A and B are shown apart, each in its own frame.
Chain A
Amino acid sequence: MSDERPAPARGAGEASGAGAGPAGGGSPIPDEIRRANVAHWDEWTRIHETSAFYDVEGFKAGATSLWPLELEELGPHVGEGTTLLHLQCHFGLDTLSWARRGAAVTGVDLSDEAIGLARRLADEVGLSGRATFIASDVYEVDAHLDDQRFDVVFVSWGAIEWIPDLGRWAAIIAKFLRPGGIFYMAEIHPVAYALDETEDHNVRLAFRYLPAPDEPDRSDYDGSYADRAAHVENRVCYGWAHGMGEILTALAGAGLRLEYLHEFPFCVAPFFDWMEADEQRWHWLPDGHGGRRADLPFSYSVMARTPAVEAGHA
Chain B
Amino acid sequence: MLEQYLKTNLAWWDEAVGVHQGTDLYDVDGFRRGADSLTAIERDELSPLVAEGTTLLHLQCHVGLDTLSWARRGATVTGVDFSGKAVEAARRLADEVGLSERAHFVQSNVYDLPGVLDQQFDIVFSSWGVLIWLDDLKRWADVVAGFVRPGGVFYLAEFHPVVFLLDDEEHAGELRLTYPYFQGREPLRFDEPGSYADPQAAMQASVTYEWQHGFGEIITPLLQRGLRLDHLHEFPSTRGLTQPFLETSADGWQRVKGGRTDIPLSFSLKMTKEAP
B264 — which chain A residues lie within 8 A by C-beta?
A: 9, 209-210, 243, 245
Q: Which A245-280 residues have C-beta < 8 A from chain B?
A: 245-246, 248-249, 252-253, 257-263, 265
Assess whether A3 is interfacial by the CB under 8 Å rule: yes
* In contact, B236 and A6 (Cβ under 8 angstroms): yes
A-chain residues with CB within 8 Å of residue B263 when the two chains form the complex: 194, 205, 209-210
**Closest chain A CB from B151 CB (angstroms):** 15
Residues A4 and B234 in contact, CB atoms below 8 Å apart: no
In the complex the two chains form, what is the Cα distance from A300 to B220 in whole Å? 12
Residues in A201-220 with C-beta less than 8 Å from chain B? 202-210, 212
* Contact for A296 among B165, B229, B235, B237, CB less than 8 A: B165
A209, A210, A245, A265: the one contacting B182 at CB < 8 Å is: A265
**Which of B37-45, B48-56, B201-209 lies at the interface?**
B37-45
User: How far is it, in angstroms, between the C-alpha of A32 and the C-alpha of B210 when the chains are bound?
Assistant: 49
Point out which of A241, A245, A257, A300 has the most chain B C-beta atoms below 10 A from its C-beta. Answer: A245
Chain A contact residue count (CB 8 A cutoff): 46
Q: Does any Cβ of A come within 8 Å of B262's Cβ?
A: yes
CB atoms of B262 and A208 under 8 A apart: yes
Residues of chain A from 83 to 136 with CB closer than 8 A to chain B in the complex? none
Quick one: closest B residue to A244, CB to CB? B215
Query: B interface, how many residues as a size bin?
Result: 35 or more
Residues of chain B within 8 A (CB-CB) of A261 are 215-216, 219-220, 223
* Interface residues as binary, A271-314 with B (CB distance below 8 Å gives 1, 0 otherwise): 00000000000000000000000111100100000000000000
* Residue contact B40 to A1, C-beta cutoff 8 Å: yes
In the complex, what distance in Å separates the CA atom of A149 from the CA atom of B77? 46
A 183-212 binary contact with B (CB < 8 Å = 1; else 0): 000000001001100100011111111101
Q: Residue on A with the closest CB to B268?
A: A8
Q: A209-B262, A243-B234 are in contact. Are A2 and B252 (CB under 8 A)?
A: yes
**Contact call B43/A245, Cβ cutoff below 8 A:** no
Q: Does A228 make an interface contact (CB < 8 A)?
A: no
* Contact (Cβ within 8 A) A5 B175: no
Identify which of A6, A206, A297 contacts B181 (C-beta below 8 A): A297
* CB contact between B176 and one of A4, A9, A198 (< 8 Å): that residue: A198
Rounded to whole angstroms, the CA-CA distance of A202 and B175 in the bound complex is 11
- Confirm or deny: B102 has a beta carbon within 8 angstroms of a beta carbon on chain A: no
The reply to whether B234 and A6 form a contact with Cβ atoms under 8 Å apart is no
Smallest CB-CB separation from A300: which chain B residue?
A: B216
For residues 163 through 178 of chain B, which have their beta carbon under 8 Å from a beta carbon of chain A? Answer: 165-166, 171, 174-177
Set of chain A residues within 8 Å of B162, measured between Cβ atoms: 191, 205, 209
Which of A191, A244, A263, A300 counts the most B-chain CB atoms under 10 A from its CB? A244
B193 within 8 A of A: no
Q: Which residues of A contact B41 (CB under 8 A)?
A: 5-6
In the complex with contacts A202-B177, A296-B180, A258-B229 CB distance below 8 A: yes
Looking at the assembled complex, report how far the CB atom of A207 sits from the nearest CB atom of chain B, in whole angstroms: 8
B262→A210 contact, CB < 8 A: yes
CA–CA, A226 and B98, complex, Å:
67
CB 8 Å contact bits of B175-206 with A (1 = contact, 0 = none): 11101111100000000000000000000000
With A209-B263, A261-B215, A263-B215 already in contact, the answer to whether A252 and B181 are too (CB < 8 A) is: no
CA of A205 to CA of B265, assembled, Å = 13
12 further A-B contacts with Cβ under 8 Å, apart from A9-B235, A210-B261, A257-B228, are A4-B40, A7-B235, A191-B181, A210-B263, A246-B234, A248-B229, A249-B232, A258-B223, A259-B223, A260-B216, A261-B215, A295-B182
20 CB contacts below 8 A, A to B, read: A1-B253, A2-B40, A205-B175, A212-B262, A243-B264, A245-B264, A248-B219, A248-B229, A249-B229, A249-B231, A249-B233, A262-B216, A263-B182, A265-B182, A294-B182, A295-B179, A295-B183, A296-B165, A296-B180, A300-B216
Residues on A close to B: CB < 8 A? 1-10, 191, 194-195, 198, 202-210, 212, 241, 243-246, 248-249, 252-253, 257-263, 265, 294-297, 300
